[in-house]
Amino acid sequence: MRVAACDGGARAEPLLSIDRLDVQFRLPGGGATLKAVDGVSFEIGRREIFGLIGESGSGKSSVARAIMRLAPIASGSVTLAGIRFDQLQGRDLRRHRRRVQMVFQDATDSLDPRMTIRQALAEPLRMRDASARDAPENIVADLLHRVGLDESHLDRKPRGLSGGQRQRVAIARALALEPELLVCDEAVSALDVSVQAGIINLLLSLQQELGIAVLFISHDLGVVAHLAERIGVMYLGRLAEVATAESLTARPRHPYTEALLAAEPEPKPSSLRAPRPPLIIGDAPSAANPPSGCRFRTRCRYARELCASEPPRLRPLPDGGLVACHFAEELVLEGRRA
Amino acid sequence: MTAKSPALDVRGLEVGLLTADGRVQAVREVSFSIGRGEIVGLVGESGSGKSVTALAIMGLLPRASSYVRGSAVIAGVDLLALSPRQLARVRGRDVGMIFQEPMSALDPLFRIGDQIAETVRAHERASWRAAAARAVEILGEVGIPDAATRARAYPHQLSGGMRQRVMIAMALVSAPAVLIADEPTTALDVTVQAQILGLLRRLSSDHGTAIVLITHDLGVAAENCARIHTMYAGEIVETCCVDDALLAPKHPYTSALIQCIPRAGQRRRPLSSIPGRAPPLAAMPSGCRFRPRCVHASDACKAPQPLLDLGDRAVRCVRYDEIALPGAVGSVAP
């Protein structure tokens, strides 16, 4: 099955296309495997910000790592601008790898503590152009300005920067390779809200001014809904729903999305909040031993017999979204008030 | 104790820490009180002093490298005036604390039921059998299914949400009047967070537990607290009921913090952020500590700023009645 794009209209070739992706890890001791990602398909258009949301164990980071070739792909494909990215080897891989760059949650872990910011930025520039012995100063300066830093930061080491500034350096490093796709895995999650806002603005400007596409992975629905045009919701390795940010938050079609929206605390005065009891009870089952049929059924308040026997496929809905729920047509789910 | 007297009354709390930069003041002039059955929020970003405030009240700061002044009174007893030995008796019995990371409070080598039973026996004369029964009972109360079996589990056998419940059970088993919850749900998934916060609200309303909820998340504060104290750079900058803070903040920092949060209806538009960064403890600006980052700063802000009592709220800003600040709902408040 090929999943249709859900913008309702004709669509140019996507920048990134993930088709029936499986990622498996072997569990320590014994031959058991954990299917972290199970048959996930979605596309990201050029210049699109696509959000991927889910709780711990949902497999969202494994999707990112599989795209980056950092996690083993058991089956399925990752196609970038027409190239089977998952099958690249050796020289071809080196040549194309720069086209997708990743930003992690904590830049302290991805920046070498002994390198100055100048060195940290020069390193990817040398990879881009092996003939250049020194990175041209003006390119380094451009990169810094692009992410909202300036030359005064050049000779500092990561330790001498704030968390937000380090994250900006990590983004600048990613940009140095002129990627077409930026994969951000919880890239603002460790930051204070006042700092987080600045990074969100930076990502928006990168998309608007440089035309970069972004895969933005986060557990924070508020942040994802602000940034992304379309959002995929993952639960225990599978996509539960894909829709535009507007329709996903206003009119969720999957019970899990509804529960996520209900659980997200809203910084609004009581007059504007509709307090609701939590819609799901208990913790998510282990991804190593997922329930039969629909994986959400053990926590779903609408679950019926069919949900235990038949895994729902991700299928298109008339309004353009995709949902993996047998009863999406008849359920009336509550979204968030604007 | 009369019905009127607060469950916890903190007055003039000052905390100094010895750091690599020398002696720095981490918390200054912090006063608040909380009544029976109330949930009060301490809200702020990292470095605002909210956790240090909690640790100081609990007497958990290292004595050799910190000093604490002021008072924190529970049931007529000033915690800050107690010896370590006296404090050990009060902690757990009169005031409990829960943390972001439950493994910091749980011993990986002991079954959770035994750990809770031990807490019971530390505070009351109870047989092991009675204490173990009490442990099972409280585990059930905090929403752990099949508590009798789970009591025999080790911490690593439980999920994050379940461990958090165990820590809450341990903090509450002696029915303390006051519970200090320091980012109790920050490490949890949002669906589990909703359940844990619901549990805290129920404890507060059913047992009258007074809860100090420390959080960086204004959404969590909005949905759970009656009043909030917004902290910045070691000081309380604004105190009011949570709806007032969100609808009509009077301190520029509270307002700026609200504006940083993504809001539905403003999708994909640039968010406002706060320029610069919080000052390091060793180099606090004179006067208003938010002044270097405040768009409303004027000469008057260079003078020391007292917390101005406005009746039902308090604000540490000399310009509060001259400036109109936006809240969480679109336009600038009247």
**The amino acid at A166:** R
The DSSP string of B213-245 is EEES-HHHHHHH-SEEEEEETTEEEEEEEHHHH
Q: What is the pLDDT of residues A98-145, one digit of tens each?
A: 999 999 998 888 899 999 999 999 988 887 776 666 667 888 999 999
pLDDT in tens, B27-76: 999 999 999 999 999 999 999 999 999 999 999 999 999 999 999 999 99
Instruction: Name the β-bridge partners of A43.
Output: A17
Kindly list the residues from chain A whose CB atom is less than 8 angstroms away from the CB atom of residue B193: 263, 265
Q: What is the pLDDT of residues A10-59, one digit of tens each?
A: 457 899 999 999 999 988 877 788 999 999 999 999 999 999 999 988 99
Domain containing A126: what range? Answer: 111-178
Residue B192 contacts A where some CB pair is shorter than 8 Å: yes
Which residue from B minimizes the CA distance to A338? B264
Residue A161 maps to a domain: yes
Q: Are residues B115 and B217 in the same domain?
A: yes
Which among A265, A275, A280 is the nearest to B220, CB-wise? A265
Instruction: Give pLDDT tens digits for B165-182.
Output: 999 999 999 999 999 999
Residue B320 placed within a domain? no
Q: Are residues B156 and B287 in the same domain?
A: no
Considering the domain architecture, whether residues B290 and B176 belong to the same structural domain is answered as: no
Of B225, B250, B272, which residue sits at a domain end? B225
DSSP B67: E
B265 at A interface, C-beta within 8 A: yes
Find the CATH number of the domain harbouring B82: 3.40.50.300
- pLDDT reported for residue B2: 45
Residue B240: both structure tokens together = 């009011």
**Is B45 contained in some domain?**
yes
- Average pLDDT for B224-243: 97
Total count of domains within chain B: 2
Together in a domain, B283 and B137? no
One domain for residues B125 and B151: yes
Q: In A, residues 196-215, which contact B (CB 8 Å cutoff)?
A: 196-198, 200-201, 204-205
| Domain membership of residue B144 as a residue range | 8-225
Is the whole model's pTM more than 0.80, yes or no?
yes
Using CB atoms, which residue from A195, A196, A265 is nearest to B219?
Answer: A265
User: Cβ B271–A200 below 8 Å, yes or no?
Assistant: yes
How would you write chain A as a 3-class SS string? CCCCCCCCCCCCCCCEEEEEEEEEEECCCCCCEEEEEEEEEEEECCCCEEEEECCCCCCHHHHHHHHCCCCCEEEEEEEECCEEHHHCCHHHHHHHHCCEEEECCCHHHHCCCCCCHHHHHHHHHHHHCCCCCCCCHHHHHHHHHHCCCCHHHCCCCHHHCCHHHHHHHHHHHHHCCCCCEEEEECCCCCCCHHHHHHHHHHHHHHHHHHCCEEEEEECCHHHHHHHCCEEEEEECCEEEEEEEHHHHHHCCCCHHHHHHHHHCCCCCCHHHCCCCCCCCCCCCCCCCCCCCCCCCHHHCCCCCHHHHHCCCCCEECCCCCEECCCCCCCCCCCCCCC
Contact A36, A287 (CB under 8 A): yes
Question: Are A272 and B329 in contact (CB < 8 Å)?
Answer: yes
- Position A274 pLDDT exceeds 80: no
What total of structural domains would you count in chain A?
A: 1
Q: What is the pLDDT of residues B132-163, one digit of tens each?
A: 999 999 999 898 989 999 999 999 999 888 99
ipTM of predicted assembly, 2 dp: 0.90
- Determine the pLDDT at residue B4: 67
Does A47 lie at the interface with B, CB-CB under 8 angstroms?
no
Domain boundary among B202, B225, B248: B225
- In a domain? residue B280: yes
Structure tokens at B99: 């943390």
**Which residue, of B190, B225, B260, is where some domain finishes?**
B225
Instruction: Specify whether the backbone of B185 is left (phi greater than 0), alpha (psi in -120 to 50) or beta.
Output: alpha
Q: What average pLDDT score do residues A303-315 get?
A: 97
- Domain assignment present for residue A314? The answer is no
- Establish if A76 belongs to a structural domain: no
